[in-house]
Structure 1
Amino acid sequence: MTERKLHQLTVDELTFRISSLLLQDPVLQSVVVKGELAELKKHTSGHVYFTLMGGESRISCALFRNYLPYVPQWPRNGDEVLAEGAVSLYPPRGAYQLIVRRLMPLGQGAAERARLELEQRLEAEGLFDVRLKRPLPLFPEKVAVVTSRTGAALRDVIAVAGKRMPSCALVVVPAQVQGYEAPGEICSALANAGRVEGAECVLLVRGGGSRDDLTPFDDERVVRAVRNCPLPVVSGVGHEIDETLSDRAADVRAATPSAAAERVFPDSADILVSLAQKHRLLRSAMDREVRSFEKDLASFQDRGRTVAEREIALRVSGAELFASRLGAAGARAVAAAGERIAALGASMNSLSPLKVFDRGYSLCEKDGVPVTSAGMLSEGDGVNLRFADGDAAAIVSGVSLRRQRGA
């Protein structure tokens, strides 16, 4: 019998070898461990340390502070939880431990505390503010549906859409909606639904079940994914009495998947009835407007005719008054002009040389030129003498000049 050769290792080498074996096991690097929470302590560094208790064993756990935002402030000693993380070796103590990334409560009391604490924190953050709610499209042409591909919820949505609005296209974005892996899948599906080309809103639906089955829809990651979806989200999860935090974050909450589909898809028959009613109302309103316009036009024409007649009469009256005033002014001007002409005639008549003739004077002309001085005549000149009643020819028999005064 051949003797087996033994390997001699230092403590550090053995520890390193065991640690390497743990790192090589994919199961141990992404494992979910169920146990009872005990010895919960929060270190001054921000890290949280605790123990998970089993029936006959225990394991030390560490939750580093960078993972704290993903865990509600609910854990208490004695709570039954699921701890997701990776198994590693802690060399200083030579003990294996679980590096926890996420905790999920299992007990009803613990789960409810976790949900209430998360709800209060998100409420304070404003994530449920009604002012963030977005309106749904009136007549959608394409809708994304986030749900299980094999669930009854999808069949309900398809049935309602086919009956109420068959023209709308449905794009199914599948996701697991129950179990430990559901929150991650729902978040990914919501992100993919928001990128569906031409989609106008998202239906997030799941059929009925126990309240524990709806736990994924109370997960903080899912709640934030609903609020951050670029499209309006309509949630229809569980039964009418069930309300999840995702329902509060959604733009519209419906009691069931069928009710959610009815909120998104308007009934085509109702649309036709509504259109017919609106057509009648519009036609009636148009008829009233036409009659009112005709009445206003007739009234305007009557008022226009009356105003025109009154304006014409006023203008005729003004013209007559102006003509009368113009005639009177013209008569006064003619009379004044006649008086002026008469005065000028009298003045001219008084200055006429004929008036001189009436006083016994005569006009002496030589060769048609008036003789104004005796010096213009010579003895023997022939002259013409003009009187008031006729003319006489004469011969100058002599000229005698008078001596001028002062000469």
Structure 2
Amino acid sequence: MANPSVFTVSQLNREAKRLLAQHFLTVQVQGEISNLSLPASGHAYFTLKDAQAQVRCAMFKGQQSTLRFKPANGLQVLVSAQVSLYEPRGDYQLVVERMEAAGEGALRQAFEQLKVKLSAEGLFDSDRKQVLPLIPARIGVITSPSGAAIRDILTVLKRRFPAIPVVIYPVAVQGEAAQFEISAALAAANRDAAVDLVILARGGGSLEDLWAFNEERVARAIAASRLPVIVGVGHETDVTIADFVADLRAPTPSAAAEHAVPEQAAWLYAFTDAERRLTRLMQLKLSSSRQQLAWREKALQAQHPGEKLHRNAQRLDELERRLAHAQQRRLSQQRQHWLQIEARLKQAQPTAALERYRNRLDFLEQRLAAAMNRKLADLAQRQAAAGATLHAVSPLATLQRGYAIVQRHGETAIIKSAADLAVGDWLDIRLASGQVVSEVKRLTRDVA
């Protein structure tokens, strides 16, 4: 290019984008969302505006995982973004990295969005609520160790039923770490086999102060708990997502403690009343038994005691004889039974069985040895016969009988006819012992 001050459109946009990125690092901008577009790619495109101006924004799919709420038109937000320029169109824009709802109204909207989502999943359904134990064996309390809530809970539990032990799981109930600590404490309580009821509580505060109990992580941890969970957060007018998921919602931490245990005095009164009624029933039963005994005594006196005693004595003698006879018969049967068992045991003695098996093994060993010898003799005989047969047809045996093998010198083919030779040929003649090299001086061919 002759004139360096002349840019192409692409060069100008690229240079403007570079200058914007160098001049503006990460900026925070507050405004209202409008023209929101959520294509299938998962990215979000919208305009951020105030009363006097507007700017295009893009928030890519990966950055949306940190959102606590669903963006919507008309929502006031605070964004952290990189100032950039979209080169193909030359549009100045913000590439949003983080987005937060601005003001309590935005938090309330995030609350409503999560409430609708979890309700649609069935986390608020009454049929999944667990029944609280009548008298808990041990209560787990998840709250701040320094707040007023723990003091109120312990005071109520001590007043109503001091015999029930309490395990305290200290957590932060406010701030970014609170949702993680509360979820971890719920998991720890569920791992303790002795705990059978959990109280999750904190004192009152603003919507932002109570936001840890509106986190989806905490709601799902409560829903996943195998233990019944009572939630007592804030004051009576404070309502959180945790209240909807809990097995029982209490308006305050103190009320949560009251729901957790019965009134000990009422139980003591019930035990005392039960003892009193049981004593009265026993007295009535004893009085009735005494009356029946008196009636039977009168009936016995109306009969002849001597005759009845005589009959009973005879009956007793008869029963005694029958018992002695039955005992002797039973004893004889048992003796016969034991003799049979003894005979069977003698027959089944391991020594006799071992001797039989040992004799059987010796017999089989002798048969095996004899069979092996016969087999070896047979194989030796067959081998000798095969060797003799092989030797009879062997070329060496033929040579032993005076024959020779004739080959043209230096060749491997065997000469079978004089017609295959000529005078002057040199021959290799192999005998039974040794080899002869000779020259053909004369040929005599057979006349057909």
Does residue 64 (structure 1) correspond to residue 61 (structure 2)? The answer is: yes
Q: Distance in 2 between matches of 1:105 and 1:195?
A: 37
Any conservation in 1 of the 2:55–2:93 contact (CA below 8 Å)?
no
Gap runs ≥5 in structure 1: 1-10, 23-27, 306-407
Which residue of 2 is the match for residue 281 of structure 1?
277
Alpha-carbon distance, 1:163 to partner? 2.6
Q: Secondary structure at the match of 2:210?
A: helix
- TM score, norm. by length of structure 1: 0.55
Q: 1:169 to 1:115 in 2, by over 3 A?
A: same
Any conservation in 2 of the 1:157–1:258 contact (CA below 8 Å)?
yes
Which residue of 1 is the match for residue 236 of structure 2?
240
How big is each residue's C-alpha offset from its partner over 1:266-305, in whole Å with a ceiling of 9 and x where there is no partner?
333332222112222333445556667788x78x989x99
Amino acid paired to 2:200: L
Which residue of 1 is the match for residue 144 of structure 2?
148
Does residue 208 (structure 1) correspond to residue 208 (structure 2)? The answer is: no
Which residue of 2 is the match for residue 160 of structure 1?
156
Any conservation in 1 of the 2:214–2:242 contact (CA below 8 Å)?
yes
Alpha-carbon distance, 1:234 to partner? 0.6
Does residue 231 (structure 1) correspond to residue 227 (structure 2)? The answer is: yes
Alpha-carbon distance, 1:126 to partner? 1.6
Does residue 36 (structure 1) correspond to residue 31 (structure 2)? The answer is: yes
Q: What do you get for the CA RMSD once the two structures are aligned?
A: 4.3
Q: 1:158 to 1:78 in 2, by over 3 A?
A: same
Which residue of 2 is the match for residue 250 of structure 1?
246
Gap runs ≥5 in structure 2: 1-13, 301-448
Any conservation in 2 of the 1:141–1:167 contact (CA below 8 Å)?
no
Any conservation in 1 of the 2:190–2:226 contact (CA below 8 Å)?
yes
Percent identity of equivalent pairs: 37
How big is each residue's C-alpha offset from its partner over 1:140-191, in whole Å with a ceiling of 9 and x where there is no partner?
2322211122211111112222333333332222222223443333223322
Q: Distance in 2 between matches of 1:36 and 1:251?
A: 40
Alpha-carbon distance, 1:127 to partner? 1.1
Any conservation in 2 of the 1:59–1:98 contact (CA below 8 Å)?
no
Q: 1:148 to 1:112 in 2, by over 3 A?
A: same
Any conservation in 2 of the 1:164–1:266 contact (CA below 8 Å)?
yes
Amino acid paired to 1:64: K
Amino acid paired to 1:130: S
Alpha-carbon distance, 1:221 to partner? 2.2
Amino acid paired to 2:30: G
Q: Distance in 2 between matches of 1:41 and 1:276?
A: 71
Amino acid paired to 1:151: G
Which residue of 2 is the match for residue 219 of structure 1?
215
Alpha-carbon distance, 1:246 to partner? 0.9
From 30, 42, 46, the counterpart of 2:42: 46
From 267, 272, 275, the counterpart of 2:263: 267
Which residue of 1 is the match for residue 344 of structure 2?
none
Q: Distance in 1 between matches of 2:83 and 2:208?
A: 34
Any conservation in 2 of the 1:72–1:117 contact (CA below 8 Å)?
yes
How big is each residue's C-alpha offset from its partner over 1:352-393, in whole Å with a ceiling of 9 and x where there is no partner?
xxxxxxxxxxxxxxxxxxxxxxxxxxxxxxxxxxxxxxxxxx
Which residue of 1 is the match for residue 105 of structure 2?
109
Q: 1:58 to 1:90 in 2, by over 3 A?
A: closer
Q: Distance in 1 between matches of 2:151 and 2:170?
A: 13
Which residue of 2 is the match for residue 368 of structure 1?
none
Bigger-Rg structure (1/2): 1
Q: Distance in 1 between matches of 2:281 and 2:270?
A: 16
Q: How does 1:1-400 map to 2 (within 5 A)?
A: 35-39=30-34, 40-50=36-46, 60=57, 62-64=59-61, 71-73=68-70, 75-81=71-77, 97-100=95-98, 105-287=101-283
How big is each residue's C-alpha offset from its partner over 1:63-99, in whole Å with a ceiling of 9 and x where there is no partner?
52795697544x323423466x9x7898986988444
Alpha-carbon distance, 1:233 to partner? 0.6
Higher mean alpha-carbon deviation, 254-263 vs 121-130, is at 121-130
Amino acid paired to 1:244: T
Q: Distance in 1 between matches of 2:83 and 2:231?
A: 44
Q: 1:283 to 1:242 in 2, by over 3 A?
A: farther
Q: 1:64 to 1:287 in 2, by over 3 A?
A: farther
How big is each residue's C-alpha offset from its partner over 1:106-136, in whole Å with a ceiling of 9 and x where there is no partner?
4343333332333233223221111111122
Any conservation in 1 of the 2:33–2:76 contact (CA below 8 Å)?
no
Amino acid paired to 2:33: A
Q: Distance in 2 between matches of 1:53 and 1:191?
A: 44
Q: Secondary structure at the match of 1:213?
A: coil
Q: For this pair of structures, how many residues does the alignment match?
A: 276
Q: Distance in 2 between matches of 1:285 and 1:129?
A: 46
Q: Distance in 1 between matches of 2:244 and 2:189?
A: 19
Any conservation in 2 of the 1:89–1:97 contact (CA below 8 Å)?
yes
Q: Distance in 2 between matches of 1:115 and 1:189?
A: 23
Any conservation in 1 of the 2:63–2:97 contact (CA below 8 Å)?
no
Any conservation in 2 of the 1:182–1:216 contact (CA below 8 Å)?
yes
Alpha-carbon distance, 1:34 to partner? 7.5
Q: Distance in 1 between matches of 2:244 and 2:288?
A: 51
Q: Secondary structure at the match of 2:231?
A: strand
Q: Distance in 2 between matches of 1:89 and 1:181?
A: 31
Q: Secondary structure at the match of 1:194?
A: helix
Any conservation in 1 of the 2:47–2:54 contact (CA below 8 Å)?
no
- TM score, norm. by length of structure 2: 0.50
Any conservation in 2 of the 1:34–1:80 contact (CA below 8 Å)?
no
Any conservation in 1 of the 2:33–2:49 contact (CA below 8 Å)?
yes
